[in-house]
Amino acid sequence: MLKTVFAAVLAAGLVTGFAPPSIAASQMRVAEAAAPKPLTPQQQKMKDCAAGWKEEKAKTGVKGGTAYRKFMIECLKKTPT
């Protein structure tokens, strides 16, 4: 009986002794992965044109994939690199 209690206490001590560092390490990896990466010039152009599409859509009331593609093609052509 005493051996069982001792083994249980020892196991609990080992689990709690080693768990926090591994949890902290995994949380650090998640935080590093969640850090925002800078946008490439093409991604920035797409973001700017998407915002322009929202404005265009609200102003003119156009909708649909064809209108969106036409707008994006024209926007990406005239947006400087």
Please give the structure tokens belonging to residue 40: 């490439």
- Mean pLDDT, rounded, for 35-60: 91
Confidence of residue 27 (pLDDT cuts 50, 70, 90): low
Q: What is the pTM of this model?
A: 0.50
Say if CB 49 and CB 72 are below 8 A apart: yes
Residue 17, pLDDT > 60, answer no
pLDDT score, position 59: 93
% of the chain residues with pLDDT over 70: 58
What's residue 78's pLDDT? 86
